[in-house]
Amino acid sequence: MDTQQQQQQQSFIQGAKVLMVGAGGIGCELLKTLALSGFQDIHIIDMDTIEVSNLNRQFLFRRSHVGQSKAKVARDAVLRFRPHINIRSYHANVKNPEFDVDFFKQFDVVLNGLDNLDARRHVNRLCLAADVPLVESGTTGFLGQVTVHVKGKTECYECQTKPAPKTYPVCTITSTPTKFVHCIVWAKDLLFAKLFGDKNQDNDLNVRANNAASSSKETEDVFERAEDEDIDQYGRKIYDHVFGYNIEAALSNEETWKNRTRPRPIYSKEVLPESLSQQNGTTQNCSATDDDSTVSAMPLLGLKNPQELWGLTQNSLVFIEALKLFFAKRKKEIGHLTFDKDDQLAVEFVTAAANIRAESFGIPLHSLFEAKGIAGNIVHAVATTNAIVAGLIVIEAIKVLKKDADKYRMTYCLEHPSRKMLLMPVEPFEPNPACYVCSKTPLVLEINTQKSKLRDLVDKIVTAKLGMNLPLIMHGASLLYEVGDDLDDIMVANYNANLEKSLSELPSPVINGSILTVEDLQQELSCKINVKHREEFDEEKEPEGMVLSGWTQSPATNGESASTSNNENEKAVDVTESSSGPEMASKKRRLSETQPENDKKETENVESDDDEIMEIENPVMVSKKKKRVE
């Protein structure tokens, strides 16, 4: 690069206005690299605060910063060695209404380092609506990737469906677990949710034994704590019910255990002392000034090492003590809690519950460290990978600013060399013509229009699958549902009434052949849903009672049939785990019939114990579809 080109590139850099979303592992490295590369105007959005576990890889933070805003502390740290540049921090959720399309339009490029798929989809849609280029990134262990998304030139972030969470049948989770991950799912998604989550959520922890079919009322009484009920007795009651009575109820079904190892019922009197106050410490020893987010049962029981393997008695003590602490120190949260891998007390409770259940079913026990990794699907972060990926992001951002589209690259960081390469760059893919986000391809929804309510459509499809935050649903000229702060009481009442009606009973009936328009005004996203009435669904494979297709479907080409995937509807209980993704949809991405089976696309959906979640494609396979950059 000659002097004139260097000066021109520097002018692009210095004149650019950049938005960073995420100030975690990659974000810290990225902000530092942007500042040292000459960027003068940087804005950072991050809703998280600094935790002790961040300090081994997020090098802009120190122990004194624990509990403070990541975005603000990162800004202050960089300004200490680059005081002349402008950095603005926002301690907020990127999905807040102030970060709308107009907000995004002021930036020349957006750089993502987010920790969940929902937020990433949200940013992707805002970038499309604002016509602002997006550079995505992620790391997990030694693996990483950086991708460029420019409207009309490359595929958007949602052109290919991200891998669905690994799912398990309800019967496996509730009755016949064979792996420790089954116990984790049971403890996290069933027991924890039952005790501390939404009480109105349908969640039956009773095994469907022959003599227990009518025990739903008894179950409600078991999990409901009376106002004057002693907390120790309540904890023992829950323990005996889920680890004792439920196992005995399961054993009553002889057919289930003909070819399986029979589990062992465990009751509290077998493993716990008569008075728990005899143990080291009680909840009374917990200071009233303790930060709720750091409340822990381990110190009260003399447990210090999270990598230590607890026995049945220790797990039982942690189970009871953690339950007591939730009621003693976090009672206001009960009824609204969801499992969070960064919630120490929640991790302790889930680990203990999963281990007790594993002991009952003859499954090897795991340490808290291991259990947290499984529950949060964690691959522990490598700081060097974050630094490499941050550098690659800046390289692609500079190309975007120069509008050097021919040089855009998706770059993969590999753990082991492939063809003597640890960094593998490939050309970006073209937009997927079947993408419902950037190509406006209609979706198809199979649903029983006579039985399914509008609420089912909103919760299971519009919110959960399409990721809309402020949805609006229309049938022809009739507005069926809308969310917003500017609605008057009459409109809210009408929409709420519609939610409880079946689709065919709505003011403008939705039946076979109806076409719905679904919009999110905040994301400026609109899509069409073609409704197809279907009477019956397989309860095991299609537990939601509806099937959405079209988001991975592409037109058939060269005599090939279009590829459709609905992996998300396979099971009833899910847990994020490494899994194969759908086949590539667009013609340019389709593998030839002659390629080896093991060269097909593989993807993983893995969350790092850093702050990024990524979908890793098999870069060796990708390189065979796209011309390699030598």
Taking the C-alpha atoms of residue 519 and residue 481, their distance in angstroms, rounded to an integer, is: 10
Say whether both 270 and 322 belong to one domain.
yes
Say whether both 157 and 187 belong to one domain.
no
Say whether both 196 and 331 belong to one domain.
yes
* 321-355 tens-digit pLDDT: 999 999 999 988 988 888 888 889 999 999 999 99
Which residue spans within 427-551 are E strands per DSSP? 443-447, 471-475, 478-482, 515-520, 525-533, 546-549
With residue 147 as reference, give the H or E element that holds it. strand 143-149
For 427, the 3-state DSSP assignment is coil
Report the number of secondary-structure helices (H) and strands (E) in the chain: 19, 19
Taking the C-alpha atoms of residue 193 and residue 78, their distance in angstroms, rounded to an integer, is: 41
* 26-80 tens-digit pLDDT: 999 999 999 999 999 999 999 888 887 788 889 999 999 988 999 999 999 999 9
In a domain, 598, yes or no: no
Where helices occur in 227-336 by DSSP H, the ranges are 231-240, 246-251, 268-271, 312-329
Full DSSP string of 43-73: EEE---B--GGGTTT-TT--GGGTTSBHHHH
In a domain, 457, yes or no: yes
Give the C-alpha distances (Å, rounded to integers) separating 94 from 19, 91, 103, 156, 543. Answer: 11, 9, 11, 19, 32
Q: Is 171 a catalytic residue?
A: yes
In a domain, 575, yes or no: no
Say whether both 422 and 450 belong to one domain.
no
pLDDT value for 256: 74
Tokens of 142: 């030694």
Catalytic residue (one of 28, 127, 171, 183): 171
CATH number of the structural domain spanning residue 127: 3.40.50.720
Global confidence as pTM: 0.66
Say whether both 221 and 357 belong to one domain.
yes
pLDDT value for 89: 97
pLDDT value for 314: 95
Q: Do residues 20 and 111 lie in contact, with contact meaning Cβ atoms separated by under 8 Å? A: yes
Kindly state the greatest CA–CA separation across the chain: 84
First to last CA, the chain: 19
- 17-21 and 109-112 strand pairing: parallel
Backbone angles phi, psi at 477, to 5 degrees: -95, 0
Taking the C-alpha atoms of residue 545 and residue 448, their distance in angstroms, rounded to an integer, is: 8
Taking the C-alpha atoms of residue 285 and residue 329, their distance in angstroms, rounded to an integer, is: 12
CATH number of the structural domain spanning residue 211: 1.10.10.520
Q: Could you say which DSSP state residue 434 is in? A: T
Beta bridge partners of 44: 20, 89
Say whether both 184 and 160 belong to one domain.
no
Taking the C-alpha atoms of residue 402 and residue 382, their distance in angstroms, rounded to an integer, is: 31
Q: Which residues of the chain have pLDDT under 50?
A: 207-219, 277-281, 283-284, 286-290, 552-616, 624-630
Binding residues: 22-27, 46, 54-57, 70, 115-120, 156, 159, 435, 438
Tokens of 349: 């409770």
For 410, the 3-state DSSP assignment is strand
Binding residues for ATP: 22-27, 46, 54-57, 70, 115-120
CATH number of the structural domain spanning residue 499: 3.10.290.20
- 86-90 and 41-45 strand pairing: parallel
Q: How many domains is the chain partitioned into structurally?
A: 3
State which of 528, 549, 570 marks the end of a domain: 549
Q: Is 246 exposed, middle or buried (0-12, 13-18, 19+ CB in 10 A)?
A: buried
Say whether both 57 and 127 belong to one domain.
yes
Taking the C-alpha atoms of residue 204 and residue 219, their distance in angstroms, rounded to an integer, is: 8
Taking the C-alpha atoms of residue 397 and residue 459, their distance in angstroms, rounded to an integer, is: 37
Backbone angles phi, psi at 573, to 5 degrees: -120, 135
In a domain, 372, yes or no: no
- Domain range for 55 is 3-164+380-426
Full DSSP string of 168-202: E-HHHHHT---SHHHHHHIIIIIIIHHHHS-TTS-
In a domain, 13, yes or no: yes
Taking the C-alpha atoms of residue 50 and residue 64, their distance in angstroms, rounded to an integer, is: 10
pLDDT value for 188: 92
Say whether both 338 and 193 belong to one domain.
yes
For 473, the 3-state DSSP assignment is strand
Say whether both 10 and 93 belong to one domain.
yes
In a domain, 54, yes or no: yes
Q: Do residues 387 and 27 lie in contact, with contact meaning Cβ atoms separated by under 8 Å? A: no
pLDDT value for 345: 94
Taking the C-alpha atoms of residue 307 and residue 301, their distance in angstroms, rounded to an integer, is: 15
State which of 549, 571, 589 marks the end of a domain: 549
pLDDT value for 338: 87
Say whether both 341 and 220 belong to one domain.
yes
In a domain, 562, yes or no: no
Say whether both 120 and 31 belong to one domain.
yes
Say whether both 353 and 208 belong to one domain.
yes
State which of 529, 549, 569 marks the end of a domain: 549
